[in-house]
Structure 1
Amino acid sequence: MQNFDYIVVGAGSAGCVVASRLSDDPSVRVLLLDAGPPATGFWVRTPAGMAKLFKHQRYNWGYFTEPVPTLNDRRLYWPRGKALGGSSAINGMVYVRGNRGDFDHWESEGNPGWGWEGVLPYFKRLENYGTLAQPEHGTSGPVTITDPAVKHPTASDFIRAAGRIGIPEVKTFVGTEPEGVGFLQANIRNGVRQSSYETYIKPHLSRSNLVVESGAHVRRILLKDRRATGVEIIQNGQLRSFEATREVVLSGGALNSPQILMLSGIGAGAQLSRHGIETLVDLPGVGKNLQDHFVARFQARVTPESSYNRELHGWRRYREGIRYLATGGGYLALASSMAAAFVKSRPDVEFPDLEISFRPMTFTHHPSGRVDIDDFDGISASVYQTRPESRGEVMLKSNDPMDAPAFAPNYLADPRDVEVMVAGMRKLRAILAAEPLSRRIIEELSPGMAVSTDEDMVDYMRRDGHCAFHPAGSCRMGPDRDAVVDARLRVHGVEGLRVADASIMPTVTSGNTNSPSMMIGEKAADLIKADA
């Protein structure tokens, strides 16, 4: 059995950060494990390639939820990265920290050090905003943060229209804005995706104390007398084991980290026994508290100059390809959304509980997995509640580590979520109706103006609503019996085992979760070093 000081399970947004920072010390040996392969190729590097990766069989777990009763028993598709870099290798690359209120709430729940002032240094440590930097941004971190490669005039009009209804414009999103609208930044450098693997691991592969194993599907964490001693993996059809002399750090993400804990005998005893797993640590909160952002999508037909759909059709798409290869710019160098507004559903809300993201283009997902830019001139926008009240669960389907877990997201189960989403849809329509954006719009295609009452909107959400692909919270941090980890990310009741990824969030952050996941990795590495 090979031994290492630290074993990090999962080379995703947080895991790559943890492994990199721990291996900064040449006296310790670090093993980074991931079930996926290396993420290589043109479409992995190219930001627009996210459409090609949406159902990619090699780089995507391609999960589906269980039937969701509140969404007419639909099963929603949940893409998750299965590659070195995890979901940061296939996601939309939008860089949003979340709001300071998110983190102050975490701290108020009994997690000292996780308030805004405690996490801000770790955001700054990972960031390189360059000339975009404000005083609360980082400028020397490994992750380059940039403005959109193309700032389309329609997106500028979206920002102006939001200003007309009282939403102030911001240059960059810091996380302290009461409300704001502006262009979205992304982790893209010179037109190339900046995954956590690309930024944190690849530059350090020459380190003799850092070992990366891909295609390594973790079967279980090895425990002895309630202490994590290593991991057992399946690789190329063979069982292998590795010993951790100091700690095992679980960074499998909000869907896979609870699964690995349960397969290892850590979880609610009743559920484990149903699958023939011996309960080694009875921890009922494992898999509970699952959260995700629920999305209502809008599309509108617009005047020809108001969309870049036609630039990616016919002969023009080859022109865009040449433009990208020659300059690293153009429409192939864009993230998933170009602009966004963070707003309150009601004036008395403490900080924004809605995000409205905007794109001067439209696309269609086909059942085959193909994603096509539409052949008409269109724009699209998404509304989602940033702080959902509904809670779901990750559960085992069997004791076979190769079986996907079961996901019950429970979207819109809490009436407060429905109320906020309806307010968000009305807020978006107010922006679309304001000048100068309104003069570009010919017709709202979906949900369409026939959807006008609150009841119509709720029916539309239940029939056609989707998710934002931001699962979190399933290994909640806290001091109580139902929490999974403490404020130092140590698993309750187990020595030498931590969780560091989006699963530890008590509440999901207000926005895209890639940036806060990397921040968690930065902070986790410091906690581990301090405890060592």
Structure 2
Amino acid sequence: METYDYIIVGAGSAGCPVAAALSADPDIKVLLLEAGPHADRFWVNTPAGMGKLYFNKLLNWNYHTEPMTMLKDRRMYWPRGKTLGGSSSINGMVFIRGHRGDFDSWRDLGNPGWGYDDVLPYFRSMEHFERREDRFRGQGGPLWISDPVRKEPASGDFIEAAKQLGHRELEDMNGEEHDGVGFMQHTIRKGRRHSAFVAFVKPILHRSNLTVRTDCRVERLLFEGRTVIGVEVFHKGRRLKIAASREVILSGGAINSPQLLMLSGVGPAEELQKHGIPVVLDAPGVGRNLQDHFYVHTGWRARADSSYNANLAGLRKYWEGFKYLMSHRGYLALGSSQVAAFVKSQPEEERADLQISFRPMTFQYNADGTVDVENQPGMGVSVYQLRPNTTGAVTLRSPNAADKAVCTPHFLTDPDDISAVISGIRQIRDIMTSKPIAARVVSEEIPGPQVCTDDEIFRFMQDTGNSAHHQGGTCRMGGDGMAVVDERLRVHGLARLRVVDASIMPHLTSGNTNAPTIMIGVKGGDMIRQDMAPRRSIAMEQGAT
């Protein structure tokens, strides 16, 4: 029977920093398990390759929601990374920590140690911000944070137009101030994607006490009473049991972590009994509190000099490819968006509750599932609400671990959420029709000038609204009856089990969620080391439960 001190389930944005922290002690044996394959591939390493990964069947879980009544029974596509690095290996590489108030709210909801001043040292320690180090930003950490290698003139004009409307320009949106408009930062190092795996685990693969295993699906947790003693995995056609003498850490993300808990008998008793799963612990909060950022995209036909679509389409894309291979620069070295504006949907909001993102290029989604850059010059502008009231659930489709979980986000069911996004679309139009960006616009293509009233905008949201792919909250941190983990990320009611990923967020952060998810992994790894559980002797029988 294989035995490790710690077993980490999921080598993604949080699991990789946990593995790095725990394996720093040479006397601690760590096993990092990943359901997907390795990630060292050209289109993973190339920032502009994210479009090639959006529907990738090998490196992506390719989730879909259930049909949603308020979205005319549409099923929404939810890509999630299924490879070393998890979603940090397939995402748009945007690095946004969130607002100070996000973390202070986590603390005030009964989670001491999670306020902004508590988490700031972890953000600083984990990053190498290429521009500088100060009391808000770090250098020397494993994760490289960079500015866009090219700052397009159209992006500068978008910032200037937003300023004309009263929005403050931010020199660093991950510094002291969060609300305003400015260039985004990305997890890109010298023109290559810098995923959580590349940053935290690849440099330490030589550690003899760290084992990384790919293509290994964890199907259930193993218990002795209410103490977790290991995992059962499916690997290369075989089911194996692996023991953990200290702890098991779930870092599978907001969909996989609650699913694994429920498959193992930890979750709402009624849900488990429906699928014939013996109840180890009735934990009603597992899978509940599902949150995501509802995303609406607008498209603008642009002057040729205002978009780099032409550089990534036709014959020019081969020239860009050659330049990238020679220098790791150019358009293939850019992240998904250039500019973000954090704005209020209503003046009475305490802080920004909308994120508007601008990119001087546009995609088209093909019927065969591929994504291509549009041939005609275009600019894309999107908006999502940062702090939605709407929550949904992750539940089981069956007791079979190979079956995908049921994801029900309940988008467009809260009137305040709807009003906020409608305001966001109107504010996009205000910016795009203001100088100097207005001079670059040929026409509004999506939704188009014929969509004017609130009812028309709402119908447009129903028809086209999507997800920003920022799922979280399904193993919520807190001390009440619906919380799944405590402030040390230990699962309530069970011993030697933690959840360390975006599922522990009491509510989403203000912005793209990859940066705070990595921080959760860094802080979680530190807490596990501080709390170092004593080894226990495990004589695991073949029939262990």
Relative to the length of structure 2, the TM-score reads 0.97
In structure 2, what is the Cα distance between the partners aligned to 1:130 and 1:374? 32
Q: CA deviation at 1:479?
A: 0.1
Contact 1:100 1:175 (C-alpha < 8 Å) held by counterparts:
no
- In structure 1, the partner of 2:419 is 419
Find the aligned partners of 1:423 and 1:233 in 2 and give their Cα distance: 48
What SS class does the counterpart of residue 382 from structure 2 fall into? strand
Aligned to 2:53: 53
Instruction: Show CA shifts across 1:346-377 (max 9, x none).
Output: 22212211000000001111132211111111
SS at match of 2:289: coil
1:159-170 aligned within 5 A:
159-170=159-170
Structure 2 residue 327 is matched with structure 1 residue 327: yes
1:135 Cα deviation from its structure 2 partner? 2.9
Letter in structure 2 aligned against 1:165: L
Change in Cα spacing, 1:344 to 1:332, as seen in structure 2 (3 Å) is same
Larger deviation, residues 168-177 vs 97-106: 168-177
Provide the secondary structure at the position in 2 that maps to 1:314.
coil
1:123 counterpart = 2:162: no
1:14-62: CA deviation from partner (whole Å, max 9, x where unpaired):
0011011110011100000010000122111000110000011110111
Shifted more, 345-354 versus 442-451: the winner is 345-354
Aligned to 1:454: 454
SS at structure 1 position matched to 2:311:
helix
Q: Using the alignment, how far apart are the partners of 1:127 and 1:178 within structure 2? A: 18
1:238-277 paired onto structure 2 within 5 Å: 238-277=238-277
Distance 2:78 2:528 in 1: 31
**Which secondary structure state, in structure 2, belongs to the residue aligned with residue 399 of structure 1?**
coil
Does the aligned pair in 1 maintain the 2:501–2:521 contact within 8 Å? yes
Matches within 5 A, 1:49-448: 49-174=49-174, 176-177=176-177, 179-448=179-448
- Residue type of the alignment partner of 1:364: Q
For residues 508-523 of structure 1, the aligned pairs below 5 Å read 508-523=508-523
Whether the 8 Å contact between 2:131 and 2:146 is mirrored in structure 1 is no
Q: Which amino acid aligns with 2:500?
A: A
Distance 1:467 1:422 in 2: 16
Where 1:131 maps in the other structure, the secondary structure is: coil
Q: Which amino acid aligns with 2:369?
A: G
Separation in 1, partners of 2:310, 2:134: 36
Q: Which AA in structure 1 matches 2:193?
A: R
SS at match of 2:390: coil
Separation of aligned partners in 2, 1:175 and 1:430: 27
C-alpha contact (below 8 Å) 1:132/1:172 kept by paired residues: no
For residues 3 and 377 of structure 1, the distance between their equivalents in structure 2, rounded to whole angstroms, comes to 57
Structure 1 position 315, deviation (Å) = 2.2
Query: Secondary structure of 2:434's match?
Result: coil
Aligned partner of residue 427 in structure 1, secondary structure: helix
> 1:308 Cα shift?
0.5
Shift of 1:96: 0.4
- SS of the residue aligned with 1:323? helix
Which range is displaced more, 176-185 or 368-377?
176-185
Provide the C-alpha distance between the structure 2 equivalents of 1:154 and 1:111, rounded to a whole number of angstroms. Answer: 43
Q: Displacement of 1:177 after TM fit?
A: 2.4
Q: Deviating runs (4+, > 4 A) in structure 1?
A: none
CA distance in 2, matches of 1:410, 1:74: 11
- Output the aligned Cα RMSD: 0.9
Q: 1:475–1:485: 8 Å Cα contact kept in structure 2? A: yes
The 8 Å contact of residues 478 and 506 in structure 1, kept in 2 or not, is answered as yes
The separation in 2 between residues aligned to 1:181 and 1:134, in whole angstroms, is 21
Q: Secondary structure at the match of 2:94?
A: coil
Distance 1:348 1:114, change over 3 A: same
CA contact (8 A) 2:397 2:404 kept: yes
Compute the displacement of 1:175 (Å). Answer: 5.7
Displacement after TM superposition at 1:495 (Å): 0.5
CA distance in 2, matches of 1:135, 1:437: 34
Deviation per residue, 1:427-459 (Å, 9 max, x gap):
111110110000110100000011111111111
Shift of 1:527: 1.1
Q: How many residues align?
A: 532
1:179 shift after superposition: 2.0
- In the alignment, the residues of structure 1 paired with residue 130 and residue 186 of structure 2 have an alpha-carbon distance, to the nearest angstrom, of 13
1:493 positional shift? 0.3
Letter in 2 for 1:277: I
Amino acid at match of 2:98: G
CA distance in 2, matches of 1:125, 1:232: 34
- In structure 1, distance between residues paired with 2:15 and 2:522: 9
Counterpart of 1:32?
A: 32
Q: What is the distance in 1 between the residues matched to 2:145 and 2:520?
A: 18
User: Any idea what the Cα deviations from partners look like across 1:53-79, whole Å, max 9, x if unmatched?
Assistant: 001111011110000111111000000
Any residues of structure 2 matched to 1:476-491 within 5 Å, and which? 476-491=476-491
Cα distance in 1, alignment partners of residues 17 and 322 from structure 2: 34
Distance in 2 of aligned mates of 1:455 and 1:378: 26
Distance 2:235 2:448 in 1: 50
**Counterpart AA for 1:90:** I
Task: Measure, in 2, the Cα distance between the counterparts of 1:11 and 1:179.
Answer: 32
- Aligned mates of 2:48, 2:476 — CA distance in 1: 33
The residue identity in structure 2 corresponding to 1:69 is T
